[in-house]
Amino acid sequence: MVGAVVVGTKENAGPRLTSVGALFMRSMCRSWLFEDMQVPKTPPAWHQCGWYTLVMRRINDPNHARFLTFSTYRRLDLFTTPELREVFVDQLRRTRSRYAFHLYAWVLMPNHVHLLIREPEAGDVSDLLRSLKGTLARRVMSRWRELDAPVLDQLSDRGGKMWFWQRGGGYDRNIVSDDEFDEKVGYIHMNPVRAGLVEKATDWGWGSARWWGGEQEGEIACDSREN
């Protein structure tokens, strides 16, 4: 049994997604540094084929773990340097401290994030996600504006508004079984391997694979499934 993490049935626990476009990107942007004065190299032009809008019916249950995925604007590779990835790690620590949610597994990829979490009070993850994503975006965009970074040109919509995260909220699934919980943990940890970034999941330093693998010093502590 999953214990306190999962209660419910598949009939009442899944998200509803509606795609109204197709998201494409021709290539990945090149690496760049965040903290020093080397300005980020401009990512390749956006292929004008539209984007995904995800329309969801979120189910807030404090007994449900949630598998969440959210992406950078237009799926651009924005997290390409260790310095910028560490900014995300720092913001994840701060958000967890503030909202006291249960964190089971996570991974930061160059253009998206996966989280497996549970909000134990009301099951509502909207405030903590707004804090995590919004504060991170403000920190990074402020720095890029100081540098007059060319990447800013790629983050503006047709109306001139700037975005760091892809609009629409991302993917949100309530976890309904022990098997699904374990599958999502494995999926999260194998993301960098499938993407060709590392050979082993524990080689990737921006996720929970090392914690789960017993290398816990310096890593963000993760909760057990029973919590």
pLDDT tens string 28-84: 232 333 333 233 443 433 333 344 444 456 788 888 999 999 999 999 999 999 999
The dihedral of CA 142, 148, 154, 156: what is its sign? positive
**pLDDT of amino acid 212:** 96
Q: Is residue 37 part of a domain?
A: no
Which residues touch 95 (CB under 8 Å, ≥6 apart)? 128, 131, 132, 135
User: Torsion-angle region of residue 226: left (phi > 0), alpha (psi -120 to 50) or beta?
Assistant: alpha
**Helix (H/G/I), strand (E/B), else coil: 118:** strand
pTM score, whole prediction:
0.75
Q: Is residue 194 part of a domain?
A: yes
Q: What type of residue sits at position 47?
A: H
pLDDT digits (tens, 9 = 90+) for 155-164: 999 999 999 9
- Who wins on pLDDT, 45 or 222? 222
Q: Is residue 200 part of a domain?
A: yes
Q: Is residue 160 part of a domain?
A: yes
Q: Is residue 198 part of a domain?
A: yes
How many domains are there within the chain? Answer: 1
pLDDT digits (tens, 9 = 90+) for 145-157: 999 999 999 999 9
**pLDDT of amino acid 226:** 79
- Residue 202 sits in a domain of what CATH number? 3.30.70.1290
Q: Is residue 36 part of a domain?
A: no
Q: Give the torsion through C-alpha atoms of 30, 196, 79, 175, to 10 deg.
A: 150
Q: What domain range is 204 assigned to?
A: 10-26+43-212
Q: Is residue 113 part of a domain?
A: yes
Q: Which two tokens stand for residue 16?
A: 């509803």
